[in-house]
Amino acid sequence: ASLVVLRLYRDGRHLALEIRDNGRGIAENDINKPRSFGLRGIRERSRSLNGEFRVEASEQGGTHLTLTLPIKTATVSATAEEERQRGLF
């Protein structure tokens, strides 16, 4: 791939990470093949956290990966406030 785009955002009560590239792509069914330990590991970990991991072919070619995880609003707010108090952000 000559181009990789990362997007991290909050969507309601979920945190989402999207990764898109313009490489040769990967098929959804290739995730379960023995050589795909990394992608399978991400899927297993996301499920253990009540999240979702999707792999799709991009319309322009390449791959589109999406990882979505639930977040607890109170935890995120408290953490952000703590960071502000410490002068980190």
CATH of the domain at 35: 3.30.565.10
Is 55 buried (19+), middle (13-18) or exposed (0-12) by CB count in 10 A?
buried
Q: Say whether pTM exceeds 0.85.
A: no
48 confidence band (pLDDT: 50, 70, 90)? very high
Residue 48's domain comprises: 4-85
If we measure between CA atoms, which residue out of 27, 31, 32, 23 comes closest to residue 57? Answer: 27
If we measure between CA atoms, which residue out of 60, 76, 51, 49 comes closest to residue 23? Answer: 60
Structure confidence at residue 39 (pLDDT)? 82
User: Is residue 4 predicted with pLDDT exceeding 90?
Assistant: yes
User: Is residue 76 predicted with pLDDT exceeding 60?
Assistant: no
Q: Domain tally for the chain?
A: 1
